[in-house]
Every structure is written in structure tokens, then in C-alpha cells.
Structure 1
């Protein structure tokens, strides 16, 4: 069963340049941390896919195991785990997130 979840996660992060595992949906985030990451990505004009871990307990636990990271949201860029809310917020404020996205060929709004 767990193999199916890690396979699904691997597929998600391989097929989507920017993948966010979050609580809720981009339109209706269900935690402040997920909302903040959505706000940052939207502000930057980044196209991304998301998965609502609240709809799937197996995915919720699986994504934590997959990344070795205990909290959600989790952001992946081009298959690489970038971090959770605090890391993304800090990277955004420092301009590192924009640099990373551009280096990875992900379009960012000027």
C-alpha cells in the first residue's frame, strides 16, 4: 500500500514542474501555512499543481515519509523537495525562491 503512495508522489513531482502538497485547495486552503505558500506562488505568477492531503490520509502520511519532512505544506520543484512554509517564506523574502525557479526553467512573473 505504501509503495502505491510513494509511486503516486514520484509521478506527481515528475510530471509537474511545481507540485505542492497542502491542506485544502488553492481556492480554499485549510491551514494558514498552506495559504501562505499559495499566496507566495500566486504573487510570483508560478503555475503549479497541488494535492489536498486532507482528502487522503495515506497521502498525508506518505508525503511526510517520502520527503523525510514532518509538516505540510511541502513544495517540490522539478522533482526536488524545496521545503515547507517557513523555508519557502524565507526563500521568497531573500529572493532565493525566484532564483531557484528561474534556474529550473519555471516561468516567474516579473
Structure 2
């Protein structure tokens, strides 16, 4: 299991923005993952999508890693931001855009 933890840790720390999701950014396999993809795409954020459906250990491992029970999970600069509801609320309040920019992540102007 430590191999999965190391894999997750590496993904989170080596990519500015990572979305652990069901499916891929091109083909989300659940509505919640799709919503977060839409938000990130709308903002023009360069991010990496990691498909947890490809690996059962990964699907459980990311929940253990973040101590968060659901997928998708968004990370910015190594920090766990939250799942779909949190990301959507932050986006609607303009907080997600500010958080990304304050961490040096380029966001498309509205």
C-alpha cells in the first residue's frame, strides 16, 4: 500500500494542479468529476487528471491519503482543496480563482 501512497504523493507534489477523478478529463465517468473538470476547463487551468477507476488500490489510497471519503479530489500545489461541492462553492464565490492565482497557477481572465 505504501507504493500507492508514494505514487499519490509524487503526483500531488510534482503537478501544480491535480484532479483525482473517476474517468479522464476528456471522458469523466461521474457527474461530480465532470463538474470539477468543467470548472477547471472554464478557468483555463492546466491540470493533470488521474483516473482512480483504473486501479482499485489507487481509488482507496487517495481516500486514505486525504482522509476524505469521496472522489473527485482536487489538489493545488500539494494542498488538498476538496471535492466537488467545495470546489463549486469556491468557484462561485471567486475563491478558487484567487487561490489558484495566489499559488502561481495561471487562470484565464473572466
Q: TM (normalized to structure 2)?
A: 0.98
Match of 1:25 in 2: 24
What residue number does 1:56 align with? 55
Instruction: Give the secondary-structure state (helix, strand or coil) at the position aligned to 2:20.
Output: strand
Q: Can you list the C-alpha shifts for 1:9-33, whole angstroms capped at 9, x where unaligned?
A: 1100111000000000111100000
SS in 2 for 1:19: strand
Runs of 4+ in 1 over 6 A off after TM superposition: none
CA shift digits 1:58-106 (9 cap, x unpaired) = 0000000000000000000000000000000000000000010001000
Aligned length: 109
Structure 1 segment 1-110 matched on structure 2, within 5 A: 2-110=1-109
CA distance in 1, matches of 2:14, 2:27: 24
Structure 1 residue 50, shift from structure 2 partner: 1.0
TM-score by length of 1: 0.98
Q: Which sections of structure 2, spanning at least 5 residues, go unmatched? A: none
User: RMSD in angstroms over aligned alpha carbons?
Assistant: 0.4
